[in-house]
Structure 1
Amino acid sequence: MSITIYTDLEVDSLGVATLWLNRPEKFNALNAEFIAELSAKFKAINDEAGIRLFVLKARGKNFCAGADIEWMKASANLNYDENLADAKDLADMLWNLNQIKVPTLAVVHGAAYGGGVGLIACCDLAIAIDNSRICLSEANIGLIPATIGPYVQQTIGYKNSLYYSMTAEVIDAQTAEKIGLVQKVFSADEADIAVKQFIQNFLKKGPKAQQACKELFNKVYSSDFNADLKRYTEEMIAIRRTSDEGQNGLQAFLEKKKPNWVN
């Protein structure tokens, strides 16, 4: 029996792991098998040694069109418990992406609808090509962006989440940048070179410091600002200043040299 593979993973010599959504004939739409494969791949990244950056990209004309039509048809015939199990698989996949320890970057083009927006929001950073069309489309068919909701709100805020989920208004790349869903927008003509340059510049920063930034702001976001969190921020900077990487970075700065993580 043949095995259908919906993703391709590439790891380069610099430690950039790129996972390609590879179901272009279906606009990279998600079904149960695709979700299971993504979930396993996201979880496995944390076991890969030497990874500096995880990049999520897509083959074909679209990033991810959301739920596969045939999968949606099948779900209409499921009972509550079966739908709950389906939802758990999707929620687990998003959780596994969000919990990747190294920095994560989504590179978006074409359509990103429904669950595709969740993939973007679960990544730490996102770059969009200027032809991107992004939509929390669930209300069009009487549904809600439930499993992706926490990540979307964390990314674009409460009011924007309400507005775009209730209206299902299509978000262009420039608006996505304005509301914080993506951090950079590049034209299609310059995209390949611009994304490479972005990654090259990203890799010039302290790798452990970047991971610590992720840990810090995840902690800050999920906590009330109280004495315990204040103490946590004090400890984090003290740890970084006395770490090997922090010491090397400070010394290199003072001596006007490159730190040892820059080739």
Structure 2
Amino acid sequence: MFETISISTDLRGVATLTLNRPEKHNAMSAQMIAELTRAAAQLGETNDVRVVVLTGAGKSFCAGGDLGWMQAQMAADPETRFVEARKLAEMLNALNTLPKPLIGALQGNAFGGGVGMASVCDVAVGVDSLKMGLTETRLGLIPATIGPYVIARMGEARARRVFMSARLFDAAEAVDLGLLARAVPADELYAAIEAEVLPYLSCAPGAVASAKALVRDLGPRIDDAVIDHTIRALVDRWETDEAREGIGAFFDKRKPAWNSKV
């Protein structure tokens, strides 16, 4: 049923949703975006599922958007870009509004859209060796469709520390920024996730879903207007000379014109 992700559910109703492109560091392709959207709907509608754990296969949690997918957007017309950007935005919204607790188990690095994936989790725990970063501006792009979720998680003041600079930061700083609830040694990640999962197994599933919906309603506004704004911002950025130069430089394995680092 799925090729880029996998789902397994234990007898307690704990589903593990795994990003399964380890050879690509779980970068999000068009197919993965579509499959994640379907998976969110499936898990949300399955009564036997009580909790969902989101993790990745291999060394990385998620390296962000697949660069082949981004390169295809650069070659597409604006209408196609808008459609593809909306698919990405709808996938993030589907995970963010999943009526089940979503626990992020970051077993490796998260960059760009991977930070967005961590931000749509209700709580995320990561290994203490991981690196994170909103790396889009290195490519002449911006963290647009993930922006509402990242800022809802971090708050504007903390987001400004890392939202525009593309600098990488470690697990300890990710905790300070609010992206991770905890950072633990790799051999303690399973136990840390179990500690997050277990309380939900004593809670009424309907009450949990209602409480999650309420906290989302009371939090920063992420409605259709906000989502549309982020889609347009991303599409507009794809049309810039900087985006063409940044993506082109990446594939040419050279520094983009604006990079003045020695």
TM-score, normalized by length of structure 1? 0.79
Higher relative contact order (CA 8 A, sep 6+): 2
Once residues 127 and 204 of structure 1 are traced to their aligned partners in structure 2, the CA distance between those partners, rounded to angstroms, is 21
Report the equivalent of 2:91. Answer: 93
Does structure 2 conserve the Cα–Cα contact (< 8 Å) formed by 1:57 and 1:106?
yes
SS of equivalent residue, structure 1 residue 105: strand
What amino acid is aligned across from residue 185 of structure 2 in structure 1? S
What amino acid is aligned across from residue 77 of structure 1 in structure 2? A
Report the equivalent of 1:122. Answer: 120
Q: After the TM superposition, which residues 5-84 of structure 1 pair with which residues of structure 2 at under 5 Å, given as runs? A: 5-84=3-82
Q: How far does the alpha carbon of each residue in 1:168-222 deviate from its partner, in whole angstroms, 9 at most, with x for none? A: 1212111111121111211112222332343234434454443333122112114
In structure 2, do the counterparts of structure 1 residues 170 and 24 end up closer, same or farther at CA, with 3 Å as the change threshold? same
Tell me by how many angstroms 1:87 deviates. 0.4
What amino acid is aligned across from residue 94 of structure 2 in structure 1? N
Tell me by how many angstroms 1:135 deviates. 0.8
SS of equivalent residue, structure 2 residue 164: helix
What amino acid is aligned across from residue 120 of structure 1 in structure 2? A
Q: How far does the alpha carbon of each residue in 1:200-255 deviate from its partner, in whole angstroms, 9 at most, with x for none? A: 344344544433331221121147xxxxxxxxxxxxxxxxxxxxxxxxxxxxxxxx
SS of equivalent residue, structure 1 residue 166: coil
SS of equivalent residue, structure 1 residue 123: coil
Once residues 122 and 188 of structure 2 are traced to their aligned partners in structure 1, the CA distance between those partners, rounded to angstroms, is 23
Once residues 158 and 14 of structure 1 are traced to their aligned partners in structure 2, the CA distance between those partners, rounded to angstroms, is 38
Q: How far does the alpha carbon of each residue in 1:86-114 deviate from its partner, in whole angstroms, 9 at most, with x for none? A: 10010011011111101111111222111
Does structure 1 conserve the Cα–Cα contact (< 8 Å) formed by 2:134 and 2:163?
yes
SS of equivalent residue, structure 1 residue 39: helix
Segments of 5+ residues of structure 2 without an aligned counterpart are 222-262
In structure 2, do the counterparts of structure 1 residues 141 and 100 end up closer, same or farther at CA, with 3 Å as the change threshold? same
Report the equivalent of 2:185. Answer: 187
Aligned length: 221
Q: What percentage of residue pairs aligned between the two structures are identical?
A: 37
Tell me by how many angstroms 1:62 deviates. 0.3
What amino acid is aligned across from residue 187 of structure 1 in structure 2? P
TM-score, normalized by length of structure 2? 0.79
Q: How far does the alpha carbon of each residue in 1:42-90 deviate from its partner, in whole angstroms, 9 at most, with x for none? A: 1221110122111101110000001112222222211211111110010
Higher Rg: 1
